[in-house]
Copies of this chain bind each other. A is one copy, B any other.
């Protein structure tokens, strides 16, 4: 594993880097890639940013987001592929994954638990609450002056991946960095409203429906919600409105493991896991071909909603020895 100075050196030598984050982009992935892209541009690099997946409306406020190319990698000349916040090539998405083996040198900057990062140069620090924290340090090494636009991207990266400084990953360093960023004039309340606060009315109605589906295991330690496709469509809600719903089963006193079952189609279910203190949900998701963090992970499983619920709940109950 390289140190951050080595990664900075590689970036300094590049003139035309191609930057990308992961599929189903979130605040850390987008904020990190945008902050790095702006920083590299400010020191004279010709930067291209690409995303395989469409960008969620939620993050439309991020400065520079319109510069991200969605879909295929533009046909330009690159001298470096820089991957942020992504631990496996598959999570770059079908339009970008092949670029990893195209002969370009690859840099990976990430905070997911990962013993075998796939870049030629890798900087992985799982103790960082967000990849945005690492990018902030990297920009300093690159001699980039942080401005308000960069600060908003970095702040968004940090605030989303820490659930607004609430998750276990929050460190003194996280707050120190936030203090620095807020000094640039980051509009804290407005961003919080945009990220956590503001939801379309249909999203609140979807919450009502999700709460209707809420079930709790007899032992009270596992709680889950199920959202079927028809319900989502009937409310005109999109997948992005569903992301946060898992926090509700997780909120319940005594619940250690929260699960959300979201029907993608009649034969495919996206399963999300959240734990509070003890259960390693990265391990649990891996059993179904997924992954993530110790306290937050997910996977996609083939089968009907009912079938997937049965197999997942069985596995979950075994953790608590027949709960």
B-contacting residues of A (Cβ < 8 Å)?
159, 163-168, 170-176, 178-180, 182-183, 188-190, 192-193, 196-201, 204-205, 207-208, 211-212, 214, 216, 247-248, 250-253, 276-277, 295
Note all chain B residues with C-beta closer than 8 A to A176: 175-176, 179
Note all chain B residues with C-beta closer than 8 A to A276: 189, 193, 197
Note all chain B residues with C-beta closer than 8 A to A197: 166, 247, 250-251, 276
Q: Are A179 and B182 in contact (CB under 8 A)?
A: no
Contact partner, A204, options B159, B163, B211, Cβ 8 Å: B211
CB distance from A56 to the nearest CB of B (A): 14
Q: Are A166 and B201 in contact (CB under 8 A)?
A: no
Contact partner, A198, options B163, B198, B214, B252, Cβ 8 Å: B252
With A190-B277, A207-B211 in contact, is A252–B199 under 8 Å at CB? Answer: yes
Which residue of chain B lies nearest to A199 when distances are taken between CB atoms in the complex?
Answer: B251
Q: With the chains together, A253 CA to B164 CA distance in Å?
A: 19
Q: With the chains together, A170 CA to B164 CA distance in Å?
A: 12
Contact partner, A164, options B165, B183, B207, B248, Cβ 8 Å: B165
Q: Are B198 and A253 in contact (CB under 8 A)?
A: yes
With A198-B252, A199-B251 in contact, is A182–B192 under 8 Å at CB? Answer: no
Which residue of chain B lies nearest to A208 when distances are taken between CB atoms in the complex?
Answer: B211
Q: With the chains together, A178 CA to B177 CA distance in Å?
A: 11
The SS class assigned to the A binding surface is helix
Copies per complex of this chain: 2
Contact partner, A166, options B164, B171, B252, Cβ 8 Å: B164
Output the residue of A166, A214, A250 with the most chain B CB within 10 A: A166
Q: With the chains together, A33 CA to B292 CA distance in Å?
A: 41
Contact partner, A192, options B166, B189, B198, B253, Cβ 8 Å: B166
Note all chain B residues with C-beta closer than 8 A to A251: 197-199, 204
CB distance from A218 to the nearest CB of B (A): 13
Contact partner, A175, options B175, B199, B252, Cβ 8 Å: B175
Note all chain B residues with C-beta closer than 8 A to A189: 166-168, 170, 276-277, 295
Q: Are A201 and B179 in contact (CB under 8 A)?
A: no
Contact partner, A180, options B163, B172, B214, Cβ 8 Å: B172
Q: With the chains together, A192 CA to B168 CA distance in Å?
A: 9
Note all chain B residues with C-beta closer than 8 A to A200: 252-253
CB distance from A90 to the nearest CB of B (A): 30
Q: With the chains together, A173 CA to B199 CA distance in Å?
A: 29
Q: A197-B250, A204-B252 are in contact. List 4 more A-B contacts (CB 8 A).
A: A166-B188, A166-B189, A170-B182, A171-B182
Q: With the chains together, A248 CA to B201 CA distance in Å?
A: 10
CB distance from A111 to the nearest CB of B (A): 16
Q: Are A172 and B168 in contact (CB under 8 A)?
A: no
Note all chain B residues with C-beta closer than 8 A to A164: 164-166
Note all chain B residues with C-beta closer than 8 A to A173: 179
